[in-house]
Amino acid sequence: MRRGLILTLPKYDDVTEYLSAFSIIIEKISKEKGIFCKLLKGESANKEEFEKVINNLDCKMVVFNGHGSENTIAGNGGNILIKLGENEDLLKNRIVYARSCEAASNLGEKCVNNSEGCFIGYNLPFEFYFDPEWVGNPIKDNTARLFLESSNLAPISIIKGNNSNEAHERSKNQMLKNIRYLLSFLK
């Protein structure tokens, strides 16, 4: 398996526009660290392209952005990239971060059974607040930043050499710090 990263960046609604905009830093840091990064942007984030890329490049790490469910992870236009019982083996032995609703609750667990890989994701729907004023330029939205930068820390920490457990804890820790920061305004 190759040292590298596949990053999906679907862009077809407000939510995926935000997820993709805030993911560009993941590509930037992987480049700084000399780690190969293949982007699947917009319409390229489809099942056919994803399967081709993962089979050909065989990257160790995969970062998904997009909608999901207990058994699926989607790409552009809701196109299903990974479906339990169909192609979850593609993720076996890899390091996976899925910023997709509920994908960790069943799909993620099945992906890491009898595997040397890991799956970091969410058991519940992924939620964040955003300011519609910035929909045309999500990266400037300081409200969404509080949610999306802390979730970014999971893949970024792994890229920087931390193990998956440390990466998960760093991401949670940053979210708690953000909550504490917001609560400080109530004093």
Partner 1 sequence: MENKKDSKNIEINKRMKELVIARIDAQVPSNLRLAIGSYGGMSKEEMIEHVKKGDEIGSQIVKRHMLFLRSLASGEFTRALASAE
Query: What are the residues binding partner 1 (CB under 8 A)?
Result: 13-15, 18, 67, 70, 78, 101-102, 105, 123-133, 143, 173, 176-177, 179-180, 183
Rounded to a whole number of angstroms, the minimum distance from the CB of residue 46 to partner 1 is 17
Structure tokens at 55: 């089979």
Residue in the block written with tokens 């939620």: 127
**Amino acid type, 88:** E
Q: Which is nearer to partner 1, 64 or 128 (CB)?
A: 128
Q: Which is nearer to partner 1, 34 or 136 (CB)?
A: 136
Structure tokens at 37: 């990064």
CA 120, 124, 127: angle at the middle one, nearest 5?
95
- Half-sphere exposure in the Cβ direction for 50 (13 Å, CA): 27
Rounded to a whole number of angstroms, the minimum distance from the CB of residue 127 to partner 1 is 5
Q: Which is nearer to partner 1, 30 or 150 (CB)?
A: 150
Rounded to a whole number of angstroms, the minimum distance from the CB of residue 52 to partner 1 is 25
Rounded to a whole number of angstroms, the minimum distance from the CB of residue 26 to partner 1 is 19
Q: Which is nearer to partner 1, 13 or 32 (CB)?
A: 13
Question: 14 in helix, strand or coil?
Answer: helix
Burial of 95 (0-12, 13-18, 19+ CB in 10 A): buried
